[in-house]
Every structure is written in structure tokens, then in C-alpha cells.
């Protein structure tokens, strides 16, 4: 697969193996790694497509896989639902024990395309491995959204993107991309881990880069890209493409 924009540099670890605990990375503090013990042993996710194949699923197949994995959801039939072409939904509970919640109160900003929900479900074994119990985001669905400063339609316009800001852990710890993603050199590949990076910044970077390694999201925009992404990481599912844009 071609990579467009800044490439993500691999960290020498394999792709995510769903249902198998790979063990947190050596540069992540044990205080965070040990939080995973608060989760019950997880069963392997069922019938999961690999990586980018998620982006090209049709609505019935996508919903069937979510149901097979015990995901509670309801079809979205509210404002601008025509922009989601049969894929729109609202989650009725956690994904594999991890809650994904809007940091505000807008129901519309919590709407997900089914394929985004499935990509997030595929990400949860990594999140659980690090002890993450909740991911808070700034938005998913924003009708008619465009990439800032351009005429290009954003993945948010069809609920295929999530801007996550906070990770919460079993012990109550909360990491904020704005303050805890500390190494953010402009233009640097987000998955080149600085040799002196430890603690919260390493955790945030590693959970994002494990998702990139597994090819769950075709567009990833981090605080390394520009000021507009200082406080969040943009994760986007992009159907029918053979490239990735990692910034």
C-alpha cells in the first residue's frame, strides 16, 4: 500500500493480533501497562476483517459483525442522515469494554458510520492492553465539513472520522492530547518515537501508532501536522483507496 504525505515509521513491532495480548511496549511505564489487569480476559473478536478491508464493507455486513461481537447500537435517523447512506448509527454501550463518548452534549456529533465503529472495535484490544476504559472525542459527524483551509470534503461529513482528545484509564488517570502529547515537532512522522519520550506522551503515541500499524485508519492527522490538531488526533476510515496519509 502506498503512503501519501508523511510516512509513519514502523517501530519494529508486528501488526495487532486481535484476541492475543502482545504485551505493552518496553518504553511505556509499568504504571500504565499494569492497568490492563482491571479488564477481564477478553475473548477474541469474531469475524473481523483485517485492516483496510473494514473500510469497504457494505452496511448489512458491517452491522452483522458488530452484532456478532455484542455491540449495542441504534440506527441514526436524525438530521442530515442522508449524508451517511445507510451506515449511520449511535452506540448503545461500550465497544469490547471501552467506551467512546463525545466530550460535549451533541447527539449528532456522536454519530458513527458503521465502518468507523468497526475500526474502533478493532482498535480496542490495543486500548485494553494499555488499560484504557474510555476514549473521549470532540466530534465524529459534522455535516458538510471540509478540511480546514481547503475545498476538500472531510471524513467528518459522512461520519467516517473521529477526533479523539482524551484517554481515561481504570485508575482514573486521564490523558489529554493537548497537554500530554509533548513531542510534536512540525512535519515529523508521528510514529518515530523520540528516544527520551516516556510516560503519558509515549502512551498516547503508542496506541495511535499501533492502530496505524494495523492499517485500521487510512487518514491520521496528529499534533505534528498543524495548530488545528494541537488538541486531538484525527482518525479516518477512507473507503476505496489504496493509499494512506499519516501526518
CA distance 103 to 135: 9
The residue with greater pLDDT, 145 or 5, is: 145
Residues 5-58 have pLDDT tens digits of 433 333 222 222 222 223 345 445 455 555 555 555 566 788 898 888 999 999
Q: Which domain holds residue 49?
A: 2-246
Give the burial class of 151: count Cβ atoms within 10 A of its Cβ; 0-12 exposed, 13-18 middle, 19 or more buried.
exposed
CA distance 222 to 204: 11
pTM of structure: 0.80
- Confidence category of residue 117, pLDDT binned at 50, 70, 90: very high
How confident is the model over 151-175, as a mean pLDDT? 85
In this predicted structure, what is the pLDDT of residue 190?
83
Looking from the CA of 57 toward its CB, the CA atoms found within 13 Å total 27
Across the chain, mean pLDDT equals 77
Could you tell me the CA-to-CA distances from 131 to 28, 33, 37, 100, 150 in Å, in that order?
Answer: 12, 7, 7, 14, 38
187 has pLDDT over 80: no
Structurally, the chain folds into a number of domains equal to 1
Could you tell me the CA-to-CA distances from 207 to 6, 45, 107, 147, 181 in Å, in that order?
Answer: 19, 18, 26, 24, 12
Amino acid at each position: 500500500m502506498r503512503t501519501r504525505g508523511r510516512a509513519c515509521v514502523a517501530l519494529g513491532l508486528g501488526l495487532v493480533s486481535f484476541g492475543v495480548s502482545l504485551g505493552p511496549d518496553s518504553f511505556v511505564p509499568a504504571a500504565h501497562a499494569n492497568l490492563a489487569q482491571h479488564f477481564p480476559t477478553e475473548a477474541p473478536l469474531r469475524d473481523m476483517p483485517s485492516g483496510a478491508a473494514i473500510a469497504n464493507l457494505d452496511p448489512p455486513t458491517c452491522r452483522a459483525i458488530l452484532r456478532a461481537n455484542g455491540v449495542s447500537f441504534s440506527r441514526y435517523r436524525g438530521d442530515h442522515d442522508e449524508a451517511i447512506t445507510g451506515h449511520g448509527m449511535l452506540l448503545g454501550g461500550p465497544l469490547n469494554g471501552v467506551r467512546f463518548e463525545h466530550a460535549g452534549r451533541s447527539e449528532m456529533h456522536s454519530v458513527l458510520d458503521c465502518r468507523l465503529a468497526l475500526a474502533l472495535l478493532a482498535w480496542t484490544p490495543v486500548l485494553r492492553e494499555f488499560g484504557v476504559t474510555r476514549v473521549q472525542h470532540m466530534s465524529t459527524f459534522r455535516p458538510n465539513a471540509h478540511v480546514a483551509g481547503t475545498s476538500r470534503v472531510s471524513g467528518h461529513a459522512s461520519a467516517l472520522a473521529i477526533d479523539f482528545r482524551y484517554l481515561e484509564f481504570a485508575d482514573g488517570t486521564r490523558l489529554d492530547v493537548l497537554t500530554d502529547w509533548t513531542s510534536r515537532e512540525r512535519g515529523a512522522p508521528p510514529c518515530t518515537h523520540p528516544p527520551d519520550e516516556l510516560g503519558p506522551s509515549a502512551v498516547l503515541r503508542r496506541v495511535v501508532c499501533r492502530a496505524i500499524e494495523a492499517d485500521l485508519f487510512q487518514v491520521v492527522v496528529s499534533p505534528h501536522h498543524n495548530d488545528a490538531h494541537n488538541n486531538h488526533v484525527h482518525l479516518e476510515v477512507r473507503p476505496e483507496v489504496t493509499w494512506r496519509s499519516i501526518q
